Amino acid sequence: MGHLLWQFLLYGSYFLSLAANGFFLFRLCAPFVRTRRGRVGKAVLFLLLMGTSGMVIWVGDPNMLYTLPVFFTLFLLCTQGDYVGRLAVCVISFCLIMSACAFLDTYIQRIDHYAIYDVLTRLARPAVFGAAYLLLRRRLPREEVQLSRQLWKLVLGLSAMPLCALIAVVLLTYEHHSSALVDALAKNQGLVVLPFAFLTSLALLFAMTILAGHQRLEEASRLTGLREVYYQNLQQQERQVRTLRHDLRNHLTVVRGLLEGGDAQGALGYLDQIAGSPALRGTMRLCENETANVVLAAKAEEMAREGLTGDFAVSLPKELPVADTDLCALLGNALDNAMEAARQSADKRIIVRCRAEKELFMLRLENAVGQAVRPDLSTTKADKSAHGFGLAGMREIAERCGGTMEARVQAGRFELVVCFPLSRKGENEHAASADH
């Protein structure tokens, strides 16, 4: 009976330590990825992190090689979004877990007493992962981290450093593990390389939060710039109205003189000139939502200056459960792409249809194709590092809001359709409050 109780306590403590590992690792990874299918995806990710943290890994051990493809496959299957970002977070998470496990198993293993070694490794892992979580806890964002494809590629490239260091120390000495000299050299290197891989992985997680913050500031700055353009136009129209009001008596005198002189045609022409004054066109109001109206009005003014024709039919309410920066990025990128194509085409008309009804947000843009379009709709510009992220960003926003984005070329015209539900108010309103 006493032996069974001891076994129960032993295995119970083992699974408890694994659960603690899974908790800390999940809290570290959760802000950087979006899981599939709600709770099922979260459960799979949690179990994957928990199980991997219990792997026995040491310098010169091939277990890491067997774990790697399983970890990568399950991680990518239970997450969704930009595959470059998911792969980057997957590599960083793998390096974080394997470097800690390899260090603890390799150097605590020098204790001859197996029971003490076993207990120490079980206690040390949640202690290490817990310390890592507490170190970054205040820096971890509440909402999901969103980065552009370019920044995700940068993070993925940087994540190769801890991964290559980990592989070099843990795996490359496997065939020569029987050599005492090679084994000693590898373990001496591991004292430096494994902590380096662990700390580098933590630094990359921290760097992603910094990059995400800068990207949010950049989007907010863009929205602020559009608002400034919008209000400058309002001020200009107000000045024109004051001028027209000041000169109204003179205008009436001219019209009266023309009529008294029998020049009715001249009077009508003069009235047409007054009617065409920008002051009488009034403030451009395309919809009730302030953020959307700011973006659309600013782009409409830009279209007018460049000789493009904007066909707008927008019906958006004053309040939308969508973050202002997301709405700005969605409409701004879509219109920027359409205007760029229209500039290079003989057909200058851009059709914009946007509405929110029946708990759905729907956006459709149509414009002529200005030049050859690749099958994958990627940018044709030479500098690919600075272009081609608009569609990817819009798709990411649509998917994050639970919807879809479709882009196609048909009969020489490009059509973009974005649709997502507005019923997910909790998530979107939380994101909006974070932006403000």
Question: Is the pLDDT score of 5 beyond 90?
Answer: no
What is the Cα–Cα distance from 71 to 261, expressed in whole angstroms? 91
Pair type for strands 309-315 and 79-80: unpaired
As a whole number, mean pLDDT of residues 44-68 equals: 89
As a whole number, mean pLDDT of residues 240-263 equals: 74
* Residue 10 pLDDT level (bands cut at 50, 70, 90): low
What is the Cα–Cα distance from 10 to 17, expressed in whole angstroms? 11
CB 54 within 8 A of CB 22: no
Question: Is the pLDDT score of 282 beyond 70?
Answer: no
Please report how many Cα atoms fall inside a 13 Å half-sphere around the Cα of residue 101, on the Cβ side. Answer: 25
What is the Cα–Cα distance from 103 to 83, expressed in whole angstroms? 30
What is the Cα–Cα distance from 341 to 192, expressed in whole angstroms? 54
Alpha-carbon dihedral of residues 300, 306, 308, 310, nearest 10 degrees?
0
Angle subtended by helix axes 39-53 and 83-108, to nearest 10: 30
Neighbours of 354 (CB within 10 A): 23
* Residue 8 pLDDT level (bands cut at 50, 70, 90): low
DSSP for 7-36, written as a single string: HHHHHHHHHHHHHHHHHHHHHHHGGG-EES
Alpha-carbon dihedral of residues 246, 248, 253, 257, nearest 10 degrees?
140
Structure tokens of 259? 């009529």
What is the Cα–Cα distance from 397 to 330, expressed in whole angstroms? 7
Pair type for strands 349-357 and 309-315: parallel
- Tokens 């991997």 sit at which residue? 52
What is the Cα–Cα distance from 201 to 158, expressed in whole angstroms? 9
As a whole number, mean pLDDT of residues 386-390 equals: 43
What is the Cα–Cα distance from 105 to 67, expressed in whole angstroms? 16
Per-residue pLDDT at 308: 92
- Tokens 């782009």 sit at which residue? 299
- Tokens 């009969």 sit at which residue? 411
How many angstroms separate the Cα of 270 from the Cα of each of 80, 176, 239, 266?
63, 96, 21, 6
pLDDT tens digits along 295-344: 888 888 889 889 999 999 999 998 888 888 888 888 988 999 899 988 88
Cβ contacts of 25 within 8 Å, gap of 6 or more: 49, 50, 53, 93, 96, 97, 129, 133
Per-residue pLDDT at 432: 41
What is the Cα–Cα distance from 346 to 349, expressed in whole angstroms? 9
What is the Cα–Cα distance from 13 to 120, expressed in whole angstroms? 12
Question: Is the pLDDT score of 248 beyond 50?
Answer: yes
How deeply is 394 buried, as exposed, middle or buried, from its count of CB atoms within 10 A (0-12, 13-18, 19+)?
Answer: buried
Angle subtended by helix axes 290-306 and 324-343, to nearest 10: 20
DSSP for 91-129, written as a single string: HHHHHHHHHHHHHHHHHHTTSS-HHHHHHHHHHHHHHHH
